[in-house]
């Protein structure tokens, strides 16, 4: 820095600022380095701390044996009954590792090194629901219900392993970039039950506002604890608020006793009655009046989404019916028919992944865009897909003012629907750099849909959008004639009453994708700051 300062003839204020920034950066790196417990733990190289809670710290680490990034969770070094806690942690973490379910984070292993117990799990790219809520505001009822269905599936798998999560909440539910919803952070499931902790409320497992009220009185209702927490999660997702003022465990217990829970309808009067009924039942103060299993709650959520209309199953034991030979034969045929409808689709499973990429200045390389990535005028964006089958792909853009643009398919391009199967399929197409960012746009939402079959409402929407021809100028609303839109190469859609087409499509998609293995949806929100 001194050499550069001697060379400089003009004002040195900018150089001094850069020098100060460099000093701060070095100090920060030293502090971060001091935060790491070890450089390595077993075969894992610890890179950085990414989270911390009452049940330990989480680090990004690199598995040297398998050459992959993982998330490593280490138990706290200082705790009472450390040996007993470590034994319980290792035993139950091994049971967690036996759960193989797409909506449950995959545990790769559990072990003890350097006098610290820990487990390592898959590394996820995306954001947790707490961050999504902060960035985007409250979710619609259908989107919240669709997420609830996924978490019910996750909880059913956890409960089948005779475990209780005990800390279901927004920040422990992760949505990957590809749309997969994952339940994670099982620290509380390996700790005390309500019965062993009620004498000291500060040792209760979980986050106070999400904890079932009976836990404050030492009653362990097992799976129904998770049902209550999921109800609170859906309440928060759909309203953007907690059901009661957050506080310490002692304060939350008193608020339950005083009946201070705010009705969901008062928080968001636009929510459908049926959705509110489901959330209210999950959050019932009496465990016996709640859903008795994750499957029972999933049944009602799926029914709300339009995929089931039968009443929730009665879990009372029933007397086995007497089968006559003819009925038994019919049953065998029915089972065979069900097997055909269940197994054949699995053999023809539709796998797809999509990501947005930003072309670098050299125009030959690119980098992946994440949620919240910043784009600037002059940047070029394209989509890259991996498709197991040929697919109908629809890509739309909506700016923060609600104006929509069609990115794909558009007339004049060689690539059109259906898009052939393959890896690294580029859209709009190889001969075009991508979609250009024309000017400042605030925020851009890009919706990518891939389906094995044409999506009717997507096709209807496309029919309403103006299609740009090659070299044809962009059409703008009259009141926007002096302002260019955010992402280029598209026309502005015709005016549409009611919800915007993209918002309407999102609602339809969450309805259609619940339980549907033939459609994949990705939503990106990019920042294009003014």
Q: If you search the block for the tokens 């928060």, which residue do you land on?
A: 236
- Among 207, 138, 198, 122, CA closest to 168: 207
Range 239-263 burial, b when 16+ CB lie within 10 A, else e: beebbbeeeebeebbebbeeeebee
Q: Six-digit token pair at 414? A: 């060689």
Does the annotation list 73 as a binding residue?
Answer: yes
Binning the chain into helix, strand and coil, the percentages to the nearest 5 are 35, 20, 40
Nearest to 121 by CA among 41, 43, 61: 61
Report the C-alpha gap between 233 and 155 in whole angstroms: 14
In the numeric block, which tokens belong to residue 252?
Answer: 């939350």
Closest to 525 (Cα-Cα) out of 413, 422, 445: 445
What is the three-class DSSP state of 352?
A: strand
Q: Where are any strands of DSSP class E within 54-104?
A: 56-63, 68-74
Complete edge-to-edge strand list for the sheet that includes strand 404-408: 404-408, 392-399, 442-451, 519-528
3-state DSSP of 92-126: HHHHHHCCCCCCECCEEEEEEECCEEEEEEECCCE
Query: Please, which residues have CB within 8 angstroms of residue 204's CB and are 6 or more apart in sequence?
Result: 192, 194, 197, 198, 211, 215, 216, 249
d(CA 232, CA 211): 9
Give the number of other CB atoms < 10 A from CB of residue 511. 18
Catalytic residue status for 167: yes
Q: How many CA atoms are closer than 13 Å to the CA of 115, on its beta-carbon side? A: 5
Buried b (16+ CB within 10 A) or exposed e, 295-332: bbbbbbbbbbbeebeeebeeeeeeeeeeeeeeeeeeee
Q: Which of 63, 150, 167, 220 is catalytic?
A: 167
Which positions make up the binding site?
A: 73
Which positions make up the binding site for ATP?
A: 73
* Residues designated as active site: 167
């Amino acid at each position: 820095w001194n050499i550069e300062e001697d060379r400089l003839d003009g004002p040195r204020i900018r150089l001094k600022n850069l020098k100060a920034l460099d000093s701060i950066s070095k100090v920060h790196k030293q502090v971060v380095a001091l935060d790491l417990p070890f450089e390595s733990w077993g075969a894992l190289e610890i890179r950085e701390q990414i989270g911390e809670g009452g049940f330990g710290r989480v680090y990004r680490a690199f598995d040297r044996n398998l050459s992959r990034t993982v998330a490593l969770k280490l138990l706290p070094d200082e705790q009472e009954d450390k040996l007993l806690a470590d034994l319980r942690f290792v035993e139950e973490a091994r049971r967690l590792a036996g759960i193989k379910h797409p909506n449950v984070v995959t545990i790769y292993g559990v072990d003890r090194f350097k006098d610290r117990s820990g487990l390592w799990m898959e590394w996820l790219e995306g954001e947790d629901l707490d961050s999504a809520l902060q960035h985007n505001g409250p979710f619609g009822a259908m989107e919240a219900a669709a997420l609830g269905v996924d978490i019910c599936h996750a909880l059913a798998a956890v409960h089948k392993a005779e475990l209780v999560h005990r800390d279901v909440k927004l920040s422990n539910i992760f949505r990957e970039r590809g749309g997969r919803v994952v339940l994670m952070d099982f620290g509380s499931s390996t700790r005390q039950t309500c019965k062993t902790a009620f004498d000291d409320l500060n040792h209760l497992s979980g986050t106070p506002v999400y904890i079932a009220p009976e836990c404050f009185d030492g009653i362990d209702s097992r799976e129904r604890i998770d049902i209550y927490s999921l109800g609170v999660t859906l309440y928060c997702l759909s309203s953007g608020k907690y059901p009661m003022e957050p506080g310490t465990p002692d304060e939350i217990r008193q608020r339950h006793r005083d009946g201070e829970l705010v009705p969901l309808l008062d928080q968001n009067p636009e929510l459908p009655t049926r959705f509110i009924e489901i959330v209210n039942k999950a959050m019932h103060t009496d465990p016996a009046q709640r859903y008795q299993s994750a499957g029972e709650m999933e049944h009602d959520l799926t029914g709300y989404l339009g995929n089931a209309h039968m009443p929730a199953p009665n879990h009372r034991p029933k007397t086995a019916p007497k089968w006559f030979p003819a009925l038994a034969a019919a049953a065998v045929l029915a089972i065979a028919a069900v097997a055909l409808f269940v197994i054949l689709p699995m053999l023809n499973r539709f796998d797809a992944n999509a990501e947005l990429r930003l072309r670098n200045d050299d125009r030959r390389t690119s980098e992946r865009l994440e949620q919240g990535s910043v784009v600037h005028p002059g940047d070029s964006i394209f989509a890259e897909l991996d498709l197991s089958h040929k697919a109908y792909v629809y890509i739309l853009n909506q700016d923060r003012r609600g104006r929509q643009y069609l990115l794909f398919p558009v007339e004049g391009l060689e690539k059109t629907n259906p898009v052939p199967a393959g890896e690294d399929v580029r859209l709009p197409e190889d001969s075009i750099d991508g979609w250009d960012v024309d000017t400042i746009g605030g925020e851009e939402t890009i919706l990518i849909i891939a389906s094995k079959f044409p999506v009717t409402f997507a096709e209807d929407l496309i029919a309403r959008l103006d299609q740009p021809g090659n070299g044809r100028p962009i059409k703008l609303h009259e009141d926007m004639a002096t302002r260019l839109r955010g992402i280029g190469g598209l026309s502005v859609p015709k005016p549409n009453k009611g919800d915007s087409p993209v918002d309407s499509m999102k609602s339809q998609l969450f309805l259609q994708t619940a339980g549907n293995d033939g459609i994949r949806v990705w939503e990106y929100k990019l920042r294009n700051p003014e």
